[in-house]
Structure 1
Amino acid sequence: MVSVMGRVTKTKQPRGGYIKPKDFNVIELNDGIDLYGEENIHSTLIGLAVDYLTRFTMGTSLEKTFKISLRGASIVNESDYAEELLNGISGLDDNSIENACKLVGFDTAFRAGIAGYKPVHTIQPDCSTISNIRTMVERSRTFNDNYGPIVKDGFTFEGGYTQLISSGDGDFLTETTLWDFKVSKKDPTNKNTLQLLIYYLMGLHSIHENFQEIEKLGVFNPRLNKVYLLDINDIPSEIISEVSSKVIGY
């Protein structure tokens, strides 16, 4: 099973990338808050915790929000503990954020297999990490107020997978924009922009009709508090065609 990101990693792109990150329009959202410089858990866990807690605080049920975490827990026979962690999430208090950080640790078992899984009991975010996660979720909610509403989240691409890409899940759709959330300390790379284009093209081939209305690709990074936007009409047709055939396999 090859994921979207797995395919992106193995794809040799043209110089600068199929879609150059500098082609995106950058909007800085300044809230006057500085994040703590150090965090004590892996950036992947932080990204997932911010992503899932944002979905939950905006109305998605806990079970749907953490569905991949729960599936991963089942694979490693930790469903009871996962349910205990899930029941301990009620908002953005310290305990909820700590439980979310542990719970998303199960995602690895589902996404990468048991070999990559490490016991979630060892995940212990410190005060600075918890504070940063809270701030990033709050920024994500402000982002939704300005660029939303979100019409679909945590979607997969049934009907759009191919022999080259057999798994992958997107973050958010608003009415006319496909969004990817990143919590990197750096601006998007050409791997990130290719990932977003693949999501869009797979979405068009999928069962989700919402993708027919999508006009823009967007990245929101709550760590940097920046929005990156690109009109799909500004992407050359030959790029669309080449990524569709050579990268995705349509």
Structure 2
Amino acid sequence: MVSVTTRIGQVKQPRGGYINPRDLSVVELTDGIQLHPAENIHATLVGLAVDYLTRFTLGTSLEEAFAISLRGARNVRELDYAMELISGINGLDDHSIENACQLVGFDVAFRNSLAAYTPVQSIQPDHFTISNIRTMVKRVIVFSKKYGPITKNGFTFEGGYNQTITTGDGDFLTETGLWDLKVSKSGPTNKHTLQLLVYYLLGLRSLHDEFDDIKELGVFNPRLNRVYVLPIKDIPSDVISEVASEVIGN
């Protein structure tokens, strides 16, 4: 299986990228809160916890929000423990966030390989990490009210995959926007912007007609509390054609 992110890692982009991140407009959202500079668990786990807890907070069932985590747990025969963790997630209290951080540790057993999995019991977020995750989830909720409503989360591209890209799932759709959630300490890279464009093109090829209404691609980074947006009409047609043919293929 080749995912969107794996495929993008294989591609040599032109100088500056197919879409230069500097072409995105930036909007600062302010809440007066300073995140703690250090977290004691891997950034990937933090990002997944923020993503899935946001989906749950916005109304998605726990089983659906943490679906990939549960698949990973099943692969390592730890589904009972995963269900125990999921039963302890009730909101954004400390215990719920601790459980979410352990639960997303199962993702690697589905997304990558069984060999990459390490027991999730070792994932013990400290007070500062828990506080940061809580703040970032709340920031995504504020973002969703300003730029939403969010019409779909955790979307996939049935009918759009091919032999080059066989898997991939995006974060959020609004009525006219396709959004990716990033919690990195810096702004988007050209890999991130290419990922957005590939998601959009896969969406157009898919069975889902909601992608026909998408007019902008964007990244929201709740760590930086910044919104990055690019209207699709501003992407040169030759860039779209080249990405469709050379990155995605037939």
TM-score clears 0.5: yes
Equivalent residue, structure 2, for 1:101: 101
Question: Counterpart of 2:31 in 1: which secondary structure?
Answer: coil
Equivalent residue, structure 2, for 1:56: 56
**CA deviation digits over 1:94-148, x for unaligned, max 9?**
0000000000000000000101111101000000000000000000100011011
Aligned-partner Cα distance in 2 for 1:207–1:70: 26
1:229 correspondence with 2:206: no
Equivalent residue, structure 2, for 1:125: 125
Instruction: Kindly report which structure 2 residues correspond to 1:190-205, keeping only aligned pairs within 5 A, or say none.
Output: 190-205=190-205
Aligned-partner Cα distance in 1 for 2:208–2:218: 18
TM-score (norm 2): 0.99
Matching residue's letter, 1:120: V
Identity %: 68
Equivalent residue, structure 2, for 1:110: 110
Structure 1 residue runs of 4+, over 4 Å off? none
1:3 correspondence with 2:3: yes
1:20 correspondence with 2:15: no
Aligned-partner Cα distance in 2 for 1:236–1:73: 43
Aligned-partner Cα distance in 2 for 1:91–1:102: 15
Aligned-partner Cα distance in 1 for 2:242–2:116: 33
1:77 positional shift: 0.2
Equivalent residue, structure 1, for 2:217: 217
Aligned-partner Cα distance in 1 for 2:153–2:206: 15
1:162 positional shift: 1.1
Aligned-partner Cα distance in 2 for 1:204–1:173: 13
Equivalent residue, structure 2, for 1:149: 149
**CA deviation digits over 1:180-236, x for unaligned, max 9?**
000000000000000010000000011111100000000000000000000001000
Instruction: Kindly report which structure 2 residues correspond to 1:59-70, keeping only aligned pairs within 5 A, or say none.
Output: 59-70=59-70
How many matched pairs? 250
Aligned-partner Cα distance in 2 for 1:60–1:9: 31
Aligned-partner Cα distance in 1 for 2:156–2:65: 13
Aligned-partner Cα distance in 1 for 2:155–2:187: 24
Matching residue's letter, 2:201: L
Equivalent residue, structure 2, for 1:161: 161
Question: Counterpart of 1:32 in 2: which secondary structure?
Answer: coil
Matching residue's letter, 2:37: G
Aligned-partner Cα distance in 2 for 1:186–1:170: 20
Question: Counterpart of 2:107 in 1: which secondary structure?
Answer: helix
Aligned-partner Cα distance in 2 for 1:117–1:234: 42
Matching residue's letter, 2:210: N
1:81 correspondence with 2:81: yes
Aligned-partner Cα distance in 2 for 1:174–1:122: 36
1:138 correspondence with 2:138: yes
Aligned-partner Cα distance in 2 for 1:117–1:16: 35
Equivalent residue, structure 1, for 2:238: 238
Alignment root-mean-square deviation, CA: 0.5
Structure 1's unaligned 5+ residue stretches are none
Question: Counterpart of 1:150 in 2: which secondary structure?
Answer: coil
Structure 2's unaligned 5+ residue stretches are none
**CA deviation digits over 1:42-69, x for unaligned, max 9?**
0000000000000101100001000000
Equivalent residue, structure 1, for 2:37: 37
TM-score (norm 1): 0.99
